């Protein structure tokens, strides 16, 4: 069986303090961090036990995980498992990167979000460069607030041409876009219109709940992060019986980590093996469609 697990443990703190984020500058107690670490260990042991399957893992924490050594070690450990295809993580990329030397970096994927209010552009670029030096496939991205548009253009100019820069559309009405804004962000990220859409999903086939799962620290499994109807507990001996095709029960799906699994969108063809860390297989920016096969494993 081929399985992708989006893991989100109890961690919910971050070293940055983005004003729009509930986890900003939130410090967790030693007790909470100890539980997060223990839950992660249990999850890793479960992955280690699934030798009959091909497993990909995507850490999508509330807050920032890579400032904690147990997430760095978890990624390293996962990349060394023969039955693990990819181990990916969403991060603000503020952490040290010396742990990369312990990874099989060809299996590692990094979804790096640049927060210009908390990190200098030069530092973010240097961190991306370091990822490239280690052969880590990664995407870079920003939240598409209109006030960040200049900075996003500057980042696009300074990133290597073959690094994909995504822009996450602000869809909750906080920052209503004009057609010019949409055009501007689309020049930076040709896939911006895809992200700026709430895709109709009710009754549609989605891999969530069949070959893709969202799992919390206690092992409670959901089809995705957006439908909070438990499918069962990952650690229960009969859990696999819960995996089956299920049409989506929500009207729309508007987040990359969800809609990429909606089958009719066929975004697996756009992202290929870079689906989790959001790296398209085809270079879509800087002059249109160009195959980037020679760099498909290096962003
Ligand atoms: S870096 Fe991410 S998790 Fe941290 S405060 Fe900003 S948005 Fe929230
Ligand atoms: S379409 Fe989105 S909301 Fe619906 S099941 Fe898939 S990931 Fe979840």
Residue 224 Cβ contacting ligand 2 at under 6 Å: yes
* Nearest ligand to the C-alpha atom of residue 225: 2
User: How far away, in angstroms, is 16 Cα from ligand 1 center?
Assistant: 6
In angstroms, the CA 217 to CA 234 distance is 10
Q: What is the pLDDT of residues 53-70, one digit of tens each?
A: 999 999 999 999 999 999
Give, to the nearest 10 degrees, the angle between helix 30-49 and helix 69-79: 0
Q: What is the pLDDT of residues 172-211, one digit of tens each?
A: 876 789 999 999 999 999 999 999 999 999 999 999 999 9
Please, what CATH class does the domain formed by 2-295 belong to? alpha beta
Consecutive 10-residue averages of pLDDT for the chain (299 residues): 97 92 83 97 98 98 96 98 98 98 98 97 98 98 97 97 96 85 96 97 98 98 97 97 96 97 96 96 58 34
Q: What is the pLDDT of residues 143-177, one digit of tens each?
A: 999 999 999 999 999 999 999 999 999 988 767 89
Atom of ligand 1 nearest to the CA of 17: 5
Question: What is the per-residue pLDDT for 297?
Answer: 32
DSSP string for 228-249: ----EETTSTTGGGG---EE--
User: How far away, in angstroms, is 288 Cα from ligand 1 center?
Assistant: 31
Question: What is the per-residue pLDDT for 293?
Answer: 33
Bridge partner residues of 215 (DSSP): 7, 221
In the chain, domain spans: 2-295
Cα dist from 252 to 121, 133, 262, 269, 291, whole Å: 34, 39, 10, 21, 31
Whose Cα sits closest to atom 2 in ligand 1? 63
């Amino acid at each position: 069986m081929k399985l992708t697990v989006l893991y989100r443990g109890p961690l919910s703190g971050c070293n940055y303090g983005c004003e729009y984020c509930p986890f900003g500058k939130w410090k967790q107690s030693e007790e909470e961090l100890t539980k997060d670490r223990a839950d992660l260990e249990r999850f890793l042991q479960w992955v280690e036990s699934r030798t009959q399957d091909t497993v990909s893992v995507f850490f999508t924490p509330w807050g920032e995980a890579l400032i904690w050594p147990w997430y760095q070690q978890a990624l390293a450990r996962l990349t060394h498992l023969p039955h693990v295809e990819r181990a990916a993580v969403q991060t603000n990329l503020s952490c040290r990167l010396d742990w990369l030397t312990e990874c099989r970096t060809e299996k590692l994927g990094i979804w790096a979000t640049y927060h210009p209010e908390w990190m200098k552009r030069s530092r973010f670029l240097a961190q991306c460069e370091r990822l490239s030096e280690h052969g880590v496939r990664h995407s870079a991205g920003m939240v598409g607030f209109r006030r960040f548009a200049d900075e996003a253009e500057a980042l696009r100019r300074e990133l290597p041409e073959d690094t994909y820069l995504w822009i996450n559309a602000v869809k909750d009405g906080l920052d209503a876009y004009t057609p010019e804004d949409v055009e501007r962000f689309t020049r930076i990220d040709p896939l911006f219109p895809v992200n700026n859409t709430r895709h109709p999903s009710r009754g549609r086939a989605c891999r969530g709940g069949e070959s893709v799962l969202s799992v919390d620290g206690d092992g409670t499994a959901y089809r995705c992060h957006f439908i909070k109807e438990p499918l069962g507990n990952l650690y229960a001996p009969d859990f696999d019986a819960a995996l089956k095709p299920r049409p989506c029960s929500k009207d729309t799906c508007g987040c990359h980590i969800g809609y990429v699994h909606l089958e009719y969108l066929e975004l697996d063809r756009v992202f290929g093996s870079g689906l989790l860390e959001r790296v398209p297989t085809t270079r879509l920016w800087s002059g249109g469609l160009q195959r980037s096969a020679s760099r498909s494993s290096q962003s």
